[in-house]
Amino acid sequence: MTAKEMSFEEALKKLEEVSQKLKSEDISLEEAIACYEEGIRYHRQCRDILDKADRKIETLAKREV
């Protein structure tokens, strides 16, 4: 499943998992950097989904007026 196919909930769960890995004391610098990059991708995915939902809500709200 690519990031674009993930639901908000799936991307958020992955972001939380990455966050937990980064909090671990048993992580190398290289692993931490890779996790950070992965986390950024999931964060962007969540933000994109929320932005799309916000635009849809605004469009629907304008139709009701």
- Note the pTM of the prediction, 2 decimals: 0.82
Is residue 1 scored above 70 in pLDDT?
Answer: no
Alpha carbons 55 and 14: distance in angstroms, whole number: 24
Alpha carbons 7 and 45: distance in angstroms, whole number: 9
The alpha helices in 1-65, defined as continuous H runs, are 8-23, 29-64
Across 4-17, average pLDDT: 93
Is residue 3 scored above 80 in pLDDT?
Answer: no
Question: 25 pLDDT band (50/70/90 cuts)?
Answer: confident
Each residue of 34-59: pLDDT tens digit? 999 999 999 999 999 999 999 999 99
In percent, the amount of the chain with pLDDT more than 90 equals: 83
